[in-house]
């Protein structure tokens, strides 16, 4: 090979950096197909797994694009670093070949997050509201396939907090929920189909989705429902000091359920970020060894850091409500729950 020919070939060779630059995908691109080999044999067949059409940045899907998978799943929307991020819509293919819209709304790092519209193809339930980490969380409205409707607070895909439930039958409930069940104060309005109005109401306390104690009263006549002028009288209560008995029983139930409700409700719902920070600081000041737990005798000094001075009997009582004793150790969550039990949020 003469020198001139060798020099010409060398000029055509690309450096590693130049090759990487040519292979790099950035900006809009035509459809890129992804495949997998069906067998390890030489010359084996390949099958398409998914395809992407859209914008790229640093070899990752970023910007606007459409991803289609071999099972029929399709996402059209925004991407960031190869993940669904921003506004986008997800479809799934049905058995009959049609596309079912699963979710339309905001995404963050590959999960549903923010506001969106979700349709459960298995149950037929439809949810419009807020999401966090791929689950319903925040405020939202769920219209169930049964015809019932819930509007209120959600956490970890469950009704949690204050919410209103309208039954298909016409009944109406307003009250507190914990992990998909009625828990705490609530009011249930009963619908009279013939009179076409709510004619009775029940105000009381719910425990694990069951009304435990309360009072029935008759609703006043509704001018738009003439038949409500004919009352359905509720039998009178013949207890001596009925209000006192009811009040005492309600207090008993709330006291019995305080520890259960405290454990099932996240600390962030009991305290503000500032309060949690103060509790953490108080805990750490006493936990000088950094063990992550406090002994029973360290609880009061830690509580005094945040201005609390429970007497011995109070402390014994709330510790027992957590199912513990002076022989146990207490994590930060235990400590915060004890503080909450000693100074509960108003019912």
* 195 & 280 share domain: no
Q: What is the largest CA-CA distance in the chain?
A: 119
11 domain-assigned: no
Determine the structural domain holding residue 181 and report its residue range: 25-235
Q: What is the tally of structural domains in the chain?
A: 2
Between CA 129 and CA 118 the distance in angstroms is 9
The CATH code of the domain that includes 276 is 1.10.238.10
CB 199 within 8 A of CB 228: yes
In-domain check, residue 259: no
CATH at 174: 2.20.110.10
SS3 of 42, please?
A: coil
pTM surpassing 0.85?
A: no
pLDDT in tens, the chain (347 residues): 454 444 444 445 666 565 555 556 776 777 787 778 777 766 667 788 899 999 999 889 999 999 999 999 999 999 999 999 999 999 999 888 888 999 999 999 999 999 999 999 889 999 999 999 999 999 999 999 999 999 999 989 999 989 999 999 999 999 999 999 999 999 999 999 999 999 999 999 999 999 999 988 998 888 888 888 887 777 776 767 777 878 888 888 777 777 677 667 777 777 788 899 999 999 999 999 999 999 999 999 999 999 999 999 999 988 988 888 999 999 998 899 899 888 754 43
Residues 131, 215, single domain; the answer is yes
- Does any domain span residue 257? no
Residue 244 lies in a domain: no
Examine the domain organization and report whether 56 and 187 are in the same domain.
yes
Domain contains 73: yes
Q: How far apart are CA 192 and CA 206, in angstroms?
A: 23
């Amino acid at each position: 090979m003469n020198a001139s020919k060798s020099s010409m070939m060398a000029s055509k060779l690309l450096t590693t950096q130049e090759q990487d630059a040519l292979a790099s995908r950035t900006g809009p691109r035509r459809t890129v197909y992804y495949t997998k080999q069906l067998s390890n044999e030489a010359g084996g067949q390949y099958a398409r797994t998914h395809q992407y059409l859209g914008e790229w940045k640093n070899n990752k899907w970023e910007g606007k694009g459409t991803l289609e998978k071999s099972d029929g799943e399709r996402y059209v929307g925004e991407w960031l670093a190869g993940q669904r991020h921003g506004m986008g819509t997800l479809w799934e293919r049905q058995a009959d070949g049609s596309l079912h819209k699963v979710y339309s709304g905001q995404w963050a790092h590959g999960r549903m997050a923010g506001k969106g519209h979700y349709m459960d193809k298995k149950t037929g339930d439809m949810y419009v509201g807020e999401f966090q980490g791929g689950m319903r969380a925040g405020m939202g409205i769920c219209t169930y396939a049964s015809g019932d409707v819930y509007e209120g607070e959600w956490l970890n895909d469950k009704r949690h907090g204050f919410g209103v439930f309208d039954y298909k039958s016409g009944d109406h409930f307003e009250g507190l929920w914990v992990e998909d069940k009625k828990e705490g104060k609530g009011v249930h309005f009963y619908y009279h189909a013939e009179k076409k109005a709510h004619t009775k109401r029940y105000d009381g306390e719910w425990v694990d989705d069951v009304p435990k104690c309360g009072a029935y009263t008759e609703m006043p006549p509704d001018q738009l429902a003439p038949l409500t002028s004919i009352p359905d009288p509720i039998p009178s209560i013949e207890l001596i000091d009925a209000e006192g008995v009811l009040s005492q029983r309600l207090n008993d139930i709330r006291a019995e359920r305080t520890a259960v409700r405290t454990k099932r409700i996240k600390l962030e719902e009991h305290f503000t970020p500032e309060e949690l920070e103060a509790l953490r600081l108080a805990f750490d000041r006493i936990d000088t060894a950094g063990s992550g737990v406090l002994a029973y005798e360290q609880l009061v000094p830690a509580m005094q850091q945040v201005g609390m001075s429970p007497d011995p009997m109070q402390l014994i009582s709330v510790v027992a409500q957590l199912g513990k004793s002076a022989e146990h150790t207490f994590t930060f969550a235990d400590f915060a729950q004890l503080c909450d039990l000693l100074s509960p949020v108003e019912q």
